[in-house]
Amino acid sequence: FKEDNEIVHEAIKTDGWALQFVGNKFFKDPEFLFLAVKYHGYAFELLPKKYKKDKTFIEKCIKKHSYILRFIEPKLRLNYLFLEKLVKINGYCLKYIPNEFKDDVNLAFLAVKQNGLSICFVEGDLRKNKEIIIEAIKQNRESYDFVDNAIKLHKDVSAAFMQYSMI
């Protein structure tokens, strides 16, 4: 059964962990592996190493599942330019970036620009950065709910909320 296309595709749709039981031919098929990850992001963890360092494949998968960032090749996780690209694709990647980048203004700004709700994953002093907060509100006014109450009182932040609430 593990070589039967129809059975394997149905199994993967149902449970991404089924990937560990499929035949070898499926691990040579990037489209099949993409489907497995698309259905169940955690299937990325089971992929051969070559896919965990394939930037194009990762970019395609990260659109739907930001948490696969935890499982990519360690060198890529430390590649600033690649991280920049990933947060532009899916702002929620900010949650999974390595600690050494958690206080990076640019990555935080790009993340909230892509998805305002990624403001939840902005850490430290960046949570008080008005430009980041305003950009988050501009992208998704619901991000205002995650802003510190003291910052909400700032005239620029409250003005942005009012402006983008009218849209």
Mean residue pLDDT of the chain comes to 94
Predicted local confidence at residue 17, as pLDDT: 87
Q: What are the residue ranges in the chain where pLDDT is below 70?
A: 167
The token pair at 58 is 């990762």
Q: What is the DSSP string of 112-128?
A: HHH-GGGGGG--GGGGG
Q: Do residues 96 and 119 touch, judged by C-beta distance below 8 A?
A: no
The token pair at 140 is 């998704």
b/e code 70-97 from CB counts within 10 Å (16+ = b): ebbbeebbeeeebbbbbbebbbbbbbbb
Predicted local confidence at residue 2, as pLDDT: 84
Predicted local confidence at residue 39, as pLDDT: 92
Predicted local confidence at residue 167, as pLDDT: 62
Predicted local confidence at residue 33, as pLDDT: 95
C-alpha gyration radius of the chain: 19
